[in-house]
Amino acid sequence: MRRRMALIVLLLAGGAVLFLLQRHKVSTPITPRPLLYLVADGEREAERLPLDITQVSDQEEMRVGARLSIGVCHAQGQNRDADFVKIHTYVTQVGEAVARNVNRQGIHYTFCIGDSPGFVNAYALPGGYVVIGRGLLSLLESEDELAFILGHEIAHVDDRHAIERVQYQLASRKLGLESVYQLGAPIQMLYESGYSKEQEQEADRDGIALAYQAGYSTKGALDVMARFEKIDREMHSAAGSPVEEFASIPFESLEEYFRSHPPAAERRQALEQIIASHSWNANAPVRPYALRPIFLAEQAAALDAQGKFAKSIARYKEAINLDSMNQRALDGLARTDWRSGDGQAAETAAIAAATHNPSVETVRILARAGSVSNRQQAIEALTALTTRQFQGKPTQQYARVELAGITAGHPPYASSEYRVLLSELANQPQLDAMVRTEMAWWMYRAGNLKEAVTELEAAHQAFPNFGQAMLWKAWVDSDYGHQADAENDIAASLNAGIDNNSDSGATQAAIRAVISWRTDKKDLAETQFQQSADNEPVWMVHNWVANNFSPATAAILFQLQGAEAARREEARKKREAR
Ligand SMILES: [Zn+2]
């Protein structure tokens, strides 16, 4: 008895911990495996107990569900970007269609999104609250697959698995159902760990029927199980290596999903039998998955961060083919093209992205890529941006400064238009600093180092917290031959509170490497550069360096790239020899 109480306490505490971890969306996933096992074991133990539970009414179950879903479904108001709204609307639409033929018509279904790429799971709370994680959604490829997954969760509610689970939990502690209002949200974690094998089989059986009755192809259920089988196999054959197709999902989360469910092969075989026994068509065509472009863009971004530019580009293009208005994919393609060193492709992609609602970064890439590719075309696209609906927004201010920068060969435009822009930004010091820093890049590229330094100092004065200005000044000062000043600039950029992400960390290491090289500390330079290249693969891209830096600095970076490539080759040979 004592052991069981201890288990339950642990189980609830574990639930609370997991709940907090998930709510705070930790970026490094902490595997909740041991805790989940504990939850699952505790659950089985509780279910073996000869406890009497009475059947509750639909209304009562809805009240219990409303309580348990606090913090899960009611947090849906946060993070509402366009993608999230699209995901939520679509899941709700498919889910409501699937729920139409449930037995217990008194239960109203609510669909909630677990908005983290690491959330590779789905579960249902009593009262019809179905939660599906973004990570799981990203693995699907047809609407029919989604219909089956949702059907399975709806069946857990319709078959009373969900409400009975909380009833058993409470009864084993000699508590009435009213106590659920004191337990609160942490108990929801019970539902993520899966049910008994019999209940899982029942949910598959009733779930596929619900999806079929809603007009979905049963092929969806078989397809998704076949994919899970494949992922499971790949994960265990290439021990520890992430499955590349799902680059945006933490490996641990994928593993977790397979641990909490019966083997996919078993489920698929059982589903095939069910389909055969009803003489359902297992080959009816499936419907396209409207969320596919969103997740393709997400995977493409993850591949880009790993330096797998060709694969990233292919995936962005796939997303754009499916949805030519997907801004994230349009912006992402321009960015990855640019980072891969292909100025011409980057310009074309940035112009395409700029016809909709481009990010500020896309505007910058458009201009920079135009300066090494088709200048006239970039000038036209930037001019169009200055006259579009972005009046007074950063997109437009950037289009104006880029236009001034790219036409710097024509001083009348550059000087007058740029000064007009600065005068308009007199009351917006942060934007003023950003615009000046951007202009300084054009001055630096044109070899006007002195002008660039003046501009960056003005940027720093306008908004001292914009650390990027000082970081760029370090490049310029080093090029200028002022290595001590460049060191001071880096320190100043750190004091200014520059984003402490891996991106600027890699940039700082690269500047330090160039400074070391110029002061004849070549070994140190190579070590510092290795740090840049390890953290941000773009530093190894020859043309990206050529497109962004002055010829003098690029020449040093090329040498450092060569040394790093040789070091990597050496390390590879050593590994192979072993
Ligand atoms: Zn289940």
CA of 195 to the centre of ligand 1 (A): 6
How is residue 501 annotated by DSSP? Answer: S
The contacts of residue 257 (CB under 8 Å, 6+ apart) are 120, 121, 136, 228
CA of 276 to the centre of ligand 1 (A): 22
CA of 13 to the centre of ligand 1 (A): 23
* Beta-sheet pairing, 110-114 with 129-133: parallel
Q: In the structure encoding, which two tokens stand for residue 357, read together?
A: 């609602």
**Nearest CA-CA partner of 375 in 335, 410, 407:** 407
Rg from Cα positions in the chain: 28
Provide the pLDDT for residue 79: 58
CA of 198 to the centre of ligand 1 (A): 10
**Dihedral angle computed from the Cα positions of residues 517, 341, 531 and 469, in that order, rounded to the nearest 10 degrees:** 70
CA of 200 to the centre of ligand 1 (A): 5
Contact 156, 131 (CB under 8 A): no
Provide the pLDDT for residue 39: 42
Provide the pLDDT for residue 116: 81
CA of 156 to the centre of ligand 1 (A): 7
CA of 183 to the centre of ligand 1 (A): 23
CA of 352 to the centre of ligand 1 (A): 44
**What's this model's pTM, rounded to 2 decimal places?**
0.82
Q: In the structure encoding, which two tokens stand for residue 295, read together?
A: 């997740």
pLDDT tens across the length of the chain (578 residues): 333 333 333 333 333 333 333 333 333 333 333 333 334 444 444 455 556 678 889 999 999 888 888 877 765 555 578 888 999 999 999 999 999 999 999 999 999 998 888 888 888 999 999 999 999 999 999 999 999 999 999 999 999 999 988 888 777 777 777 777 766 545 556 666 668 889 999 999 999 999 999 999 999 999 999 999 888 887 777 555 555 666 667 767 777 777 777 889 999 999 999 999 999 999 999 999 999 999 999 999 999 999 999 999 999 999 999 999 999 999 999 999 999 999 999 999 999 999 988 999 999 999 999 999 999 999 999 999 988 776 767 888 899 999 999 987 555 566 788 989 999 998 999 999 999 999 999 999 999 999 999 999 999 999 998 899 999 999 999 999 999 999 999 999 888 866 555 567 899 999 999 999 999 999 999 999 999 999 999 999 999 999 999 999 999 999 999 999 999 999 999 999 98
Q: In the structure encoding, which two tokens stand for residue 471, read together?
A: 């970081």
Provide the pLDDT for residue 192: 62
Contact 406, 367 (CB under 8 A): yes
CA of 260 to the centre of ligand 1 (A): 9
CA of 164 to the centre of ligand 1 (A): 14
| Gap between the Cα atoms of 357 and 361, Å rounded | 12
Task: Return contacts of 566-571, CB within 8 angstroms, 24+ apart.
Answer: 567/526, 567/530
CA of 367 to the centre of ligand 1 (A): 52
Q: What is the Cβ-side half-sphere exposure of residue 102, based on CA atoms within 13 angstroms?
A: 28
| Gap between the Cα atoms of 158 and 144, Å rounded | 20
| Gap between the Cα atoms of 217 and 132, Å rounded | 21
Provide the pLDDT for residue 413: 64
**Nearest CA-CA partner of 269 in 194, 204, 203:** 204
CA of 56 to the centre of ligand 1 (A): 21
CA of 203 to the centre of ligand 1 (A): 6
CA of 262 to the centre of ligand 1 (A): 9
| Type and span of the H or E element at 124 | strand 122-125
Number of other CB atoms surrounding residue 79 within 10 Å: 12
CA of 153 to the centre of ligand 1 (A): 6
> 């108990």: which residue's tokens?
187
CA of 265 to the centre of ligand 1 (A): 15
Q: Tell me the H-state helices in 189-291.
A: 197-213, 219-237, 251-259, 264-278
Provide the pLDDT for residue 203: 95
